[in-house]
Structure 1
């Protein structure tokens, strides 16, 4: 970053990305696991449980996200497998972001384990690389967690930079370095380009980020619509999005409840009620362009006794079917069998759709495959008529925040 008189005119953005967050948090609380291969799995006690993340020691042994526990143990027999502790991860995340805000109020939480910091106002006082080193050291010493930090003049380049060296990386990415550091990368490694976009770019003869950056803008707009134009700008280092401290807190919880016409034990009425509540909630999160990772069910009985129970999910919850399935599962696990007078469902722990990723699931991959023809049809229509002509609910992008398109 330039110093001196030009420093005040230059934005300096940090992207702080925690390395193997879930596994690192577990190791911080179990020092005896340090240096050992560790994996976090949704159903750690079952051989077909899915690996959510793993330590770098496990990755060196060939353990990868979306493997089953059985496959991972074939690669690494000494693998330690741990069920996720969401409360611990959330608490640690809160500690992390509280620490980041001691440097600047301009902190945007992008997910539980990554965020942006606008430190432009600090740069006349301290070199940005020195500041990043101090922050990285403090996170490691106080929270015992490794992180990588990208330093750049905007959010896209900072995010790109943080991915360039892991773990414990510090990377500066300046606009004048794009041809050297960014453009040689395969187009599939560009943030915001998922497998489907990568395939379409390849068909258009675009193999690298540089190919996209130097392509004729009119053709990109014609072929890929608004998301393509935005990616073209990003490839040229253009990203005017501000760091938004309120982005995460904008979504606290979304809930609906209904008092039944009469107290009931009827399975049909209960299912019908949850169906209606789930439909309303699906509409709400579509409108907000978010997914959720927590669901709470409220049961009020004939005698006004009220019970609330909640669950956390590794997978993002976003459809009516997913909401209803989880709500019914919670209900039947905790229903006493007594007459019910009120039912409620609340969603929380939100994340913008554009930042969420769905891990492969042995129980849902067939449904995902059945959706593929629909996804391809939507892609073809949008290619012809422009982005937004038709959309699938699960791929909505929060345009109000100019989020990057993701089609993972």
Structure 2
């Protein structure tokens, strides 16, 4: 695996004081997840979206693999356009409604419908590794996050640390990420896009402005096509041009955002990596080298993982109301089970006991990965609680929707309750948007809204997806 470019640094005496920020961005995440589930898709064009079935007329591409992009398929593209450029592989079947006898396999690609529950389960595995590798993690979407690793590594070995993060995610989860390392969040974001796919770019203190200077203006963090066009109208073609410009005309043209563009082009960004609110769950997972049927090694892992999540909850000052397990069976079927408790607790022995009990139905099955999770967290200053602290007369537990069940009965569901990824709309929102599509004036299918729209989070400027991964948020009304 290539390490990607590591820019020659200008070492300074202040290196130890500079923060070390990593931006981790999964490459074509939805397509990568589909390839985990169907390994035979590897190497072929893969398009993930909605509305591609014969007879459907409205839909859009959520992501396209790099192989699909060679045919001109792009994220947020009308699905009808994608199908014109890259017909479905299923159309080769003589019985298909859109069968074309003139097609060859080399001219077609695989289309898959968006499956957010599955993608979120894979994202949780990646996020678990990120939280294990960094003291501070800011998850900004289902497939990307910022890490502050200042206390975990040093600039002299930052490239090796980033490579370790990449290798863990590839080995333990099976997806590829690109990583950018820099002293600021905006520079780290740009660095992660610099050498995609499978990139690793390190921008050391003292070289940020030189790294940014030759980049075209649309590569600046927060600049979309509309802003890029307006900057060019001012004669500003590169980040270096913006950095050397008089900031007053920028402020007059773009308001407060103009000053921000000027600062970012100069490498000035004093934002800190901060989590977006309290986490909703803690989880740990572990994969076996090969699927395991023997119960003993699986239960040993469950015990280790249960202790790890309970310990993290205690260190974070969190109580939990739900305990869950995950069992991934071949080829890549994700099975989850959970149990709700009478109230919030901090009880590692209980986590272990419930996790082992929930995992019982998979004890004799071949399993390739196991996981343990505590959820429905409460962060309070109250004394630690255990199940024994609750009135022993309580004989009912509650599921997440309020239904009562007999105490001790397992709450089972196809998926564990999971946190809504930041900036990621639900599939229902996407479908609603699909049924009320925007048009470009010529009756075409829905496309992403203007990427220069005012962002909902001032710390995350709106920008187009640079790796072709279109968040379903792009198709929402927000």
Q: Give the direction of change, closer, same or farther, for the CA distance of 1:74–1:223 in structure 2 (3 Å limit).
A: closer
Q: Deviations 1:303-338 (Å, cap 9, x if unpaired)?
A: xxxxxxxxxxxxxxxxxxxxxxxxxxxxxxxxxxxx
* Deviation of the 1:37 alpha carbon: 0.9
- 1:240-389 equivalences under 5 Å are 240-247=270-277, 249=279, 349=420, 351=422, 363-366=436-439
Q: Deviations over 1:273-293 (max 9, x none)?
A: xxxxxxxxxxxxxxxxxxxxx
Alignment check: 8 A CA contact 1:40 1:84 kept: yes
State the Cα deviation string for residues 201-243 of structure 1 (Å, max 9, x = none).
1222222111111111222222221101011101010111111
Q: Does 1:398 align with 2:469?
A: no
In structure 2, the partner of 1:384 is none
3-state SS in 2 of match to 1:158? helix
- Is the Cα–Cα contact under 8 Å of residues 248 and 351 in structure 1 kept in the other structure? no
- TM-score, reference length from structure 2: 0.54
Comparing 50-59 and 17-26, the one that deviates more: 50-59
Partner residue, 2:118 = 88
Does the 8 Å contact 1:227/1:405 carry over to 2? Answer: no
How far does residue 58 in structure 1 lie from its aligned partner after superposition?
1.2
Q: Which has the larger radius of gyration?
A: 2
Contact 2:10 2:205 in 1 (8 A): no
Query: How far apart in 2 are the matches of 1:126 and 1:42?
Result: 46
Partner of 1:145: 175
Q: Contact between 2:16 and 2:155, CA under 8 Å: does it hold in 1?
A: no
Hey, which of these two has a bigger chunk of helix by percent? 1
1:110 and 2:118 correspond: no
RMSD value, Cα? 3.6
What is the Cα deviation at residue 8 of structure 1?
2.9
CA distance in 2, matches of 1:130, 1:28: 26
Q: What is the aligned partner in structure 1 of residue 43 from structure 2?
A: 35
CA shift for structure 1 position 368: 9.4
What is the aligned length?
289
Q: For residues 60-117 of structure 1, give each alpha carbon's deviation from its aligned partner in whole angstroms, at most 9, with x where no partner exists.
A: 2322223344432332342110001100111111111111111122011010000001
TM-score computed with the length of structure 1 as normaliser: 0.63
**Residue 120 (str. 1) matches residue 144 (str. 2):** no
Q: Residues 7, 202 of structure 1: CA spacing in aligned structure 2 closer, same or farther, 3 A cutoff?
A: closer
SS for the counterpart of 1:127 is helix
Greater relative contact order (Cα 8 A, min sep 6): structure 1 or 2?
2
Contact 1:66 1:361 in 2 (8 A): no
1:10-63: CA deviation from partner (whole Å, max 9, x where unpaired): 111000000000000110111111111110012232453321111111112322
2:260 counterpart (205, 208, 230): 230
